Amino acid sequence: MMKVECTRLPSGLTVVTEQMPHLESVALGVWIKSGSRNETVGEHGIAHLLEHMAFKGTSRRTARQIAEEIENVGGEVNAATSTETTSYYARVLKDHVPLAVDILADILTESSFDEEELRREKHVILQEIGAADDTPDDVVFDRFAETAYRDQTVGRPILGTPETVMSFSADQIRQYLGRNYTTDRMFVVAAGAVEHEAFVRQVEERFSTLPRTPLTTPVLETAIYTGGESRETRDLMDAQILLGFEGKAYHARDFYCSQILANILGGGMSSRLFQEVREHRGLCYSVYAFHWGFSDTGIFGVHAATGGENLPELMPVIVDELRKSSMNIEQQEIERARAQIRAQLLMGQESPAARAGQIARQMMLYGRPIPNEELMERLSGITIERLTDLAGRLFFDTAPTLSAIGPLEQLAPMNDILSSLTGKTVVAHAVAS
């Protein structure tokens, strides 16, 4: 029987474990409630740069020693930066948990930010930015966020720009670190063959030097969804199209309702968009709907990839499916979406890494682990009436955002695309490339 245990240390650091007795390994990590959104105007990309630099040497280990020590025991270590969180995590056999804790603590409390390593890592990130810019299905999402949240940190690409990345100094990285990596917003989580009390002792000993309060006030501006339009014509085989609206924040009443609606519209091969757009009409090779929640806003979107010649027919069909969802949804569709979400939830819990990440997200968002029964209870209260009402408000009452890249000569103007949905002319802020 799996059991989640939680301890808040005197330092303010929160430690959570879930024992999975049938396993021989442990997935563990440190999650910080801070990401690219917590940067100042002049820090664009510094959260991601810090994540890279954490592995480039400490007062006790070189970059090579960090890699070799964890791999000498067959383990692995990595990190990730998102809009609102950053994570550093490892996977090891149960006997090597103390080593993994020691390495994670070392990189988070003793990083040296060597100038030569910083210079090299900046150039690595420049290549990463270049690779992302060469990937149209990444670019279309970046442009979408920039347009939906115009001139705000929540809408900026996480990687930063070549100019900002090259400008950062070690002192600037330390300032961001001191402002955001404090015990009140950090969670150490482990799942697998882990014993809670022993893990707590190891964490308490190795993370004792973490600051409890920030050096300066953390940055987090309120998100203001603006909507708008971004088109970038490129000589590509396919057009990447993203049409979206303001969604719901994690704590909003309609958050789980939005997840169900996204699943019904474009969550799998049986979804409305897949069946109508791809299977019935053959208008694209990829189409899906999604809903992303943030702490104070969200995004509900539909992404499609297709040849430019299909755009005149594709967009009206997508818009029509959105419109129809505000008028009619079948109970069978709700049950199917609930079953898919439940299966994803339970299947994820068979992986210690997925489970550790899930617990960490729940701690950051809700302050406690959420039992499966509670999650399913929230989903069980979703009715046809709630879904059609939500669809009407999402698609009729909020300004749309359109992001497109590729051969766009046949992509209709924004007003034409959405007139059938809203029944009125839509005025959109346009950015063309």
- Token digits for 270? 């049986």
Query: Nearest 10 degrees: CA dihedral of 102, 105, 109, 115?
Result: 70
Q: What is the pLDDT of residues 102-154, one digit of tens each?
A: 999 999 999 999 999 999 999 999 999 999 999 999 999 999 999 999 999 99
State the amino acid at position 226 in one-letter form: T
Domain with CATH 3.30.830.10 in the chain: 3-206, 228-432
**C-alpha dihedral (374, 334, 345, 266), degrees to nearest 10:** -140
Confidence (pLDDT) at 424: 46
Task: Write b or e for each residue in 258-286: b if 16 or more Cβ atoms lie within 10 A of its Cβ, otherwise e.
Answer: bbbbbbbbbbeeebbbbbbbbeeeebbee
Please list the active-site residues.
51
Which of the listed CATH numbers 3.30.830.10, 3.40.1130.10, 3.40.50.9100, 3.40.50.300 matches domain 228-432?
Answer: 3.30.830.10
Contact 304, 327 (CB under 8 A): no
Residue 2's pLDDT is 63
Determine the CATH number of domain 3-206: 3.30.830.10
pTM over 0.75: yes
Give the Cα separation of 205 and 219 in Å (integer): 30
For 27, 84, 168, 321, 400, the CA distances from 422, given in Å and listed in that order, are: 48, 32, 45, 13, 10
Residue with tokens 């020691």: 102
What is the model's pLDDT at position 423? 58
pLDDT at 422: 64
Q: What is the mean pLDDT of each run of 10 residues along the chain (433 residues)?
A: 87 96 96 96 96 96 96 98 97 98 97 96 97 95 97 96 97 95 96 97 96 81 94 95 96 94 96 96 96 96 96 94 95 95 89 96 93 88 95 91 96 82 51 49
